[in-house]
Chains A and B, each alone.
Chain A
C-alpha cells in the first residue's frame, strides 16, 4: 500500500488493515509512503480521489516499470491523467463498492457491489478478465468488459445525478429519488437529470450498459439508505468530486454541442455550496 503519510504506512505495517462491516478480518500488508520502498508490483490499483490523481501519479513516474496501472476514479478521463506520467499499460475501472474509513488501519466495508474493468492502453480484454478473476477470488465482486465505456458512462450519469442531488438536499439515496407522483417530486428532477445525461452519452457515441434511471430505482428499492460520498463531503465541509463527476459530464455536453441545463445548474449550485465553507 502506497500512502501519503509515513505514520500511516508505519501503522499499517505494524497493525495490518482491519476490515469490518460486510467482512471481518485483519490483513497484513506492506506499506510505504515512498514508491521505492515497496516490492515491484504487477498490478497497481490507483484509488485516490479524482482531485488527487494528477499529483499522485506524478509521484509514480519512473517507478513500477513492470506494472499495469488500473484507475478506479469517478468521472471520466482518469486514464489519461494517470497515463501522462508513465508508459505503464492501463486498465480502466469503475467501482460501485463503498466503505467508510474509521482511522488509519480500519475500514468498514459498506456496499459489496461490483467493480467493472476494461482494457484501456496496452492491455487486452484478457488482461481485464485476469484482474477481475483475481479480485473475485479475493472475496470481492468484479466483472470484466471488452469495452468499459458503456458501463463507465452509466455510472457517470448515475453518480453525477445522485451525488449532486444528495449533496444539495441532505438526503441519503433513498425512496425520494424515485418519487414521480406529483409536480415537484424529487424523482422527476432525478429522471430529468438522467435523461439529459443519456442525451450527452448518445452525442458522445456511447451506448449505455445499464439505464441509470433503472439503476436508481433498483438502488432505492434495496432499502439501504446509502449516503453518497458527495453528501458526506459537504457535511464535513470538504471539497467534493463535483469537478470530476458532474464537471466531466458538462464538459462532454459542451464538446458535443448538446445542452445540459440541469447538470449545469447542479454543478453551479454544488460549486457555490463549496464556496460557502469559507
Chain B
C-alpha cells in the first residue's frame, strides 16, 4: 500500500519514519520545507529519543509529483490544513485521508477536498532537531475512526494495523470523537493558560485560582461535547492532574507557550475557538473559552509592528 504523510513536521515524521520500516508500505512525504525534504531524500528520516529509527522514504515539496495513494495522513498545524489538502487532494482521489492534527475542524476542512476522511487523534510528540532529524519525545497511542459513512471501516482498520505494525500503536474505532474531544479539552484548558502566563503545566496546576479556572474551561468543553452526544473516553481533569506530577509533565512548557515565545501563530482558533464554534452550533454558552481565545489572539496581534 502507498501512504503519503502530508506535513512532515515532528508528528508527521514519527508516522513517516515508522511506517517506512514496513516492507509492504511505500511511504511518501509532502512538506513545504525544502531543507527538510532534501535531507530526507539524501540521508533518510532519522528519529532519536524514545526510539531510534531511520526511515527511507520519498519526500517532495511538489504536490504534483505525488503518485495516487491509498492513504494520506495529514499532520500539519491546523491553520495549514486547507492549503495542504488543496494542493495534495489529487493523490487521494481513490484513497482515504486521515487527520492526526490538533484541534477541531480539520475533518471538515479535509472533507471539502476529499471524499473519504478519517478522524484521528494522536498522543506521540517530538520536535525537529535539524532537517531530516526529529527528536521523539513521547510515545503514545493513536485512535482513528471514520469521519462519515464515506470512509469504509475496513480501510480505517487497514491503516491502523499498518501504523501499529510500524511502531505507532493505533486503534480503529467506530466513533473517534471521544478521544479527540478529550485531547482538545485538555489542550484548550491548559495550553493557553501557559501561553498567557508563562507558567509550566505543573506550576499552573499548583495555583488554586488558576486551577479553578482550568476546571471551568474543562466544564465548558465537556458541556459542548455532551450536547453532541460525544462520550469522552476519559475525564480531561484526570489527565490534567496526571500531567502535573513531577515525573510526568510538571516542568513542560505547553506547545502554545513555546509558540508564543517564538512568536509563531498558535492553534488557539482550532482549540478554544473550535469549542466556541461547536458550542454556538449546539446552543451551549462558552464564555470562558471565548475569553481565552480573544486573549491569545490579542497576544498574536501584539506582534504586529
Which residues does A use to contact B, with CB under 8 Å? 165, 168-171, 176, 183-186, 188-189, 192, 261-262, 264-269, 271-273, 275-276
Give the contacts of B53-95 with A (CB-CB under 8 A).
none
B291/A192 in contact, CB under 8 A: yes
5 nearest A-B residue pairs (beta carbon): A169-B298, A276-B198, A170-B302, A268-B209, A272-B197
B294/A188 in contact, CB under 8 A: yes
The CA of A261 and the CA of B215, in the complex, are separated in Å by: 13
* Given contact pairs A189-B291, A189-B294, A272-B210, A183 touches B196 in the complex (Cβ within 8 A): no
Contacts of A186 in B (CB 8 A): 294-295, 297-298, 301
Contacts of B301 in A (CB 8 A): 169, 171, 176, 186
Select from chain A the residue with minimum beta-carbon distance to B291: A189
Interface residues of B, count at CB 8 A: 31
Give the contacts of B252-304 with A (CB-CB under 8 A).
269, 273, 276-277, 280, 287-288, 290-295, 297-299, 301-302
Contacts of B291 in A (CB 8 A): 189, 192, 262, 265-266
B213/A170 in contact, CB under 8 A: no
B277 contacts which of A183, A185, A189, A265 (Cβ < 8 Å)?
Answer: A183
Give the contacts of B182-199 with A (CB-CB under 8 A).
193, 196-199
A171 contacts which of B193, B196, B292, B302 (Cβ < 8 Å)?
Answer: B302
Contacts of B302 in A (CB 8 A): 169-171
B204 at the interface (CB under 8 A from A): yes
A250 to chain B, nearest CB (A): 10
B276/A184 in contact, CB under 8 A: yes
B141 to chain A, nearest CB (A): 31
A265/B199 in contact, CB under 8 A: no
* Given contact pairs A262-B287, A272-B207, A273-B198, A183 touches B212 in the complex (Cβ within 8 A): no
Contacts of A271 in B (CB 8 A): 207, 209-210
29 A-B pairs (CB sep. < 8 Å): A168-B295, A168-B298, A168-B299, A169-B298, A169-B302, A170-B298, A171-B298, A171-B302, A183-B277, A183-B280, A183-B290, A184-B290, A186-B297, A188-B290, A192-B287, A192-B291, A261-B287, A262-B291, A265-B213, A266-B291, A267-B209, A268-B212, A269-B193, A269-B197, A269-B210, A272-B193, A272-B199, A273-B198, A276-B199
Select from chain A the residue with minimum beta-carbon distance to B302: A170
Contacts of B298 in A (CB 8 A): 165, 168-171, 176, 186
Select from chain B the residue with minimum beta-carbon distance to A187: B294
The CA of A194 and the CA of B297, in the complex, are separated in Å by: 19
The CA of A136 and the CA of B216, in the complex, are separated in Å by: 49
B113 at the interface (CB under 8 A from A): no
B203 at the interface (CB under 8 A from A): yes
B209/A169 in contact, CB under 8 A: no
Which has the most chain A C-beta neighbours within 10 Å: B196, B269, B292? B196
Which has the most chain B C-beta neighbours within 10 Å: A264, A265, A275? A265
Contacts of B295 in A (CB 8 A): 165, 168-169, 186, 189, 269
The CA of A176 and the CA of B276, in the complex, are separated in Å by: 20
The CA of A184 and the CA of B203, in the complex, are separated in Å by: 27
Contacts of A268 in B (CB 8 A): 207, 209-210, 212-213
Select from chain A the residue with minimum beta-carbon distance to B260: A170
A273/B216 in contact, CB under 8 A: no
A184/B273 in contact, CB under 8 A: yes
Contacts of A183 in B (CB 8 A): 273, 276-277, 280, 290
Contacts of A275 in B (CB 8 A): 197, 199, 203, 207
A235 to chain B, nearest CB (A): 11
Contacts of B207 in A (CB 8 A): 268, 271-272, 275
Contacts of A176 in B (CB 8 A): 298, 301
B288/A265 in contact, CB under 8 A: yes
Contacts of B288 in A (CB 8 A): 261-262, 265
Contacts of A272 in B (CB 8 A): 193, 197, 199, 204, 207, 209-210
The CA of A189 and the CA of B297, in the complex, are separated in Å by: 11
* Given contact pairs A169-B295, A183-B277, A189-B290, A261 touches B216 in the complex (Cβ within 8 A): yes
B294/A185 in contact, CB under 8 A: yes
The CA of A165 and the CA of B290, in the complex, are separated in Å by: 14
